[in-house]
Amino acid sequence: MIDAKLTRPSANFHASWVESWNEWGTLNQDGSAAFVAARYGLDLRDSSDFAEWVGLLHELPKESFQPPEGLANQTTIWVVAGNAYMGAASLRHSLVNDYLVEVGGNIGYGIRPSARGRGLAKLALKSALLEGRDLGMERVLVTCKQPNVASARTIEACGGVLESVRPPESFAPELGVTEAIRRYWFQL
């Protein structure tokens, strides 16, 4: 594993975060909470929009902060090495809609493609699990797509218990699920 640490989001990582975004290409950058920026109409390639997004990520964990409909209060943790953004984990404090209950779960995490295979996904997931425990959560749901063997191994290595593997046709059509979903539970 590379020398990495966990930190709260910071605007200081803008250039590295954009490099990571470019590595992901058209794939969803799981765990980064970039969908929050989309809900607020922010362009994360712009440094001032990025700084505003980082500010939102610091507000989202607060019980007093009311996120837009469909978003949950959440804690975002970044994995960094030196001045390089490596990935993130987001812990949703509650499952506020059908998508999160069925597909998204409480935790999303992702490591930039060039940093994978170094134990960083385990670091990110374990940090989100500890955060959940600190918040008093008793159990959390973590999911991954069936073909994502690396993510399934990470979840299992961190103690996730497989509830089910659900085929796409078992989900409501409006959830947009096109691949089987592995659903894991963690007792905190």
* Model confidence band, residue 92 (pLDDT cutoffs 50, 70, 90): very high
Average pLDDT of the residues in 121-137? 97
Q: Does position 110 have pLDDT exceeding 70, yes or no?
A: yes
Other Cβ atoms within 10 Å of 67 Cβ, number? 16
**Position with higher pLDDT, 28 vs 55:** 55
User: What burial class does residue 117 get, using C-beta atoms within 10 Å of its C-beta: 0-12 exposed, 13-18 middle, 19+ buried?
Assistant: exposed
Q: Where are the beta strands (DSSP E) in the chain?
A: 5-7, 74-81, 84-92, 107-111, 139-145, 161-166, 181-187
Q: Are 39 and 58 in contact (CB under 8 A)?
A: no
135-183 confidence digits (pLDDT tens) = 999 999 999 999 999 999 999 999 999 999 999 999 999 999 999 999 9
Which run of H or of E encompasses 16? helix 14-24
- The sign of the dihedral angle between the CA atoms of 169, 68, 91, 185 is negative
* Model confidence band, residue 39 (pLDDT cutoffs 50, 70, 90): confident
* Model confidence band, residue 37 (pLDDT cutoffs 50, 70, 90): confident
Q: Which amino acid is at 28?
A: N
Which run of H or of E encompasses 55? helix 47-59
